Amino acid sequence: MERERSGSERRGHRAAAPRPVVEHPVEALQRLAGNRVAAALLSVQRDGPRAATGSEQRTFVELLVRFFDGAADFYRTREMVQAVPALPAMPHPTPEANLAEIARVLAAWKPTYDNGRRMITDSLQGDAALTEQLRGSYERALSALHGLARNGPRVNVVLVAAPGRDDDQFIRNAAAYARTYFGRPAVPGDTVVVVEGVDSLDGLLSAVESAQTERMVRRVDVFAHGTIEPSNQLKLAGRWHSAAQLEAALSARRLTSEHLQSATRFDTGSTLEFHGCRLGAGEGERFLRAAGQAVGGDRGQQAVGYRQRWFPRRYQLDWRGHPVTDTGRDVYGDSALPIRFTRGSERQRVANRNRFVADFERHAVRLFDEVVAGSAELRSFATAREVADGTFSRARKIEIMRAMYDANGAWLLGFLHPAHQVPDMDPTQALPLDDYTFTREHAAWESQTLRIRVGP
């Protein structure tokens, strides 16, 4: 039975042939190479479900090495192709598409690598040379794959140590500080993963390894106690961990797929920063180097530690429960807080506002004199001449205190003594005053950082 012809065919026209899908030459080569490796892997077991011989299993692992090497070449080429302007007919994948592809490929590669390593351990007497070949090829492939996301949005990991006791005010302040100032990414498109209650080195490393594995890492910020006695150590859940223990943790994870996937997400644009006290002092270089390698391998990333550290506490003023977030509007403006929320005559509201301004200025001057004067932070708001002379008029003190307040919607006061409850009261009335570094920079209290570049 003859099929019914379309109108265009009856008029003597043929229907247009479907437009062929254009495959990128590099993708075609990788597909061909992948098919060949897959065929070779299948041929190892072509004789049915019998157990593979040692020779066949070695061949299997060697083919895996070749496969990962081919994948590394493929994705390095992809990164190079995406680095040049795209042709209109062949646009580059979006950053989101690259991240989705990386996630998809990682999910397929991870069990493949794990199976190959298990085969070496169980059936090939743990052949060290073959193990290193497989690890190296897999790491190269992962590095090339993550290269697709090198210039895309990244992940920031914030880790807060578990306290060793319930009343650990230092960790409580650190957690609040981390959530307040690190909870939002500084770079548009980036994401932030916050993990609190980290209680071991394994927990710390696992948190980094599991945080959005398709993305490159921009920062890892660790908030924990640190010490230099007897050597630089990190405190997690009341237990201290040395550089030697970090190196042991790295050694234990060196061959695992999770660690390799994590390490290849670090590069010269990645930073590992320890915010705990003293992790950059003394023999801090060894500690930071060990930590940088344990978390991110040798990828050129920076590891940063402080000779000393303090965590700022927000000191925000309010009027009857309404916070001051901008002094120009909430204190001095035509609709200041006492005017906005006070009933009564216009004269009464203005009188309330004037009293509010006077109270604010009196408090700002007292805070300047007793807390801020002589602080390192003052140098960012005063002129070099003013800092050198140490002479400020009352109006200038108020102007500086307003600028410091408006920069953060509050005054930030650094509280550094972990043994004391951080008071919410007026800091000029809190004791001991020396616990505040916003002010009284102790002679031995340094915020200098050590920047240790790990790797080449």
pLDDT tens over the chain, length 456 residues:
444 454 544 455 555 554 444 444 444 444 444 555 545 554 544 444 556 777 888 999 999 999 999 999 999 999 999 988 888 888 899 999 999 999 999 999 999 999 999 999 999 999 999 999 999 999 999 999 999 999 999 999 999 999 987 767 678 777 877 887 788 898 999 999 999 999 999 999 999 999 999 999 999 999 998 888 778 999 999 899 999 999 999 999 999 999 999 999 999 999 999 987 778 888 889 999 999 999 999 899 999 988 776 666 667 888 888 889 999 999 999 899 998 887 778 888 889 899 999 999 999 998 888 777 766 667 778 898 888 888 899 999 999 999 999 988 888 766 554 444 444 444 444 444 444 444 333 333 444 456 676 654
> Cα 257 to chain center, whole Å?
21
In angstroms, rounded to a whole number, what is the distance separating the alpha carbons of residues 288 and 454?
9
User: ∠ CA(410), CA(412), CA(413), 5° rounding?
Assistant: 135
In angstroms, rounded to a whole number, what is the distance separating the alpha carbons of residues 14 and 256?
59
- Tokens representing residue 227 in the block: 């010490």
Measured from the Cβ of residue 360, the count of other Cβ atoms closer than 10 Å reads: 22
Strand 302-306, strand 449-453: pairing = antiparallel
Which residues touch 450 (CB under 8 Å, ≥6 apart)?
Answer: 280, 284, 285, 288, 304, 305, 307
Q: Coil, helix or strand for 163?
A: coil
Q: Exposed, middle or buried by CB within 10 Å (0-12, 13-18, 19+), for 340?
A: middle
Q: Which of 219, 177, 185, 189 is nearest to 408 (CA)?
A: 177
Q: Exposed, middle or buried by CB within 10 Å (0-12, 13-18, 19+), for 136?
A: middle
Measured from the Cβ of residue 232, the count of other Cβ atoms closer than 10 Å reads: 28
Which residues touch 196 (CB under 8 Å, ≥6 apart)?
Answer: 160, 162, 175
Q: What is the pLDDT of residue 230?
A: 76
The DSSP symbol for 426 reads -
Q: What is the pLDDT of residue 342?
A: 78
Q: Residue 181 carries which side chain, given as an amino acid letter?
A: Y
Helix (H) or strand (E) holding 319: strand 318-319
Task: Say what the pTM is.
Answer: 0.69
Q: Exposed, middle or buried by CB within 10 Å (0-12, 13-18, 19+), for 376?
A: middle
- Tokens representing residue 155 in the block: 């992940």
Q: Coil, helix or strand for 49?
A: coil
Q: Which of 275, 321, 271 is nearest to 296 (CA)?
A: 271
In angstroms, rounded to a whole number, what is the distance separating the alpha carbons of residues 313 and 225?
17
Q: Residue 257 carries which side chain, given as an amino acid letter?
A: S
> Model confidence over 55-71: pLDDT tens digits?
888 999 999 999 999 99
- Tokens representing residue 253 in the block: 């994870």
Q: Residue 210 carries which side chain, given as an amino acid letter?
A: S
Q: What is the pLDDT of residue 312?
A: 62
Unique residue bearing structure tokens 């290269």: 147
- Report residue 323: phi and psi, to 5°: -75, 145
Contact 365, 402 (CB under 8 A): no
Contact 400, 411 (CB under 8 A): no
Write the DSSP assignment of 213-281 as a string of letters.
TTSPEEEEEEE-EEE-SSS-EEEETTEEEEHHHHHHHHHHHTT-HHHHHHHTT--TT-EEEE-STTTTS
Unique residue bearing structure tokens 């008071």: 423
In angstroms, rounded to a whole number, what is the distance separating the alpha carbons of residues 270 and 276?
19
Which residues touch 353 (CB under 8 Å, ≥6 apart)?
Answer: 336, 338, 339
Longest Cα–Cα distance of the chain, Å, equals: 105
Cα first-last separation, the chain: 74
Q: What is the pLDDT of residue 345?
A: 84
Which residues touch 307 (CB under 8 Å, ≥6 apart)?
Answer: 278, 280, 281, 284, 446, 447, 448, 449, 450
Q: What is the pLDDT of residue 216?
A: 98
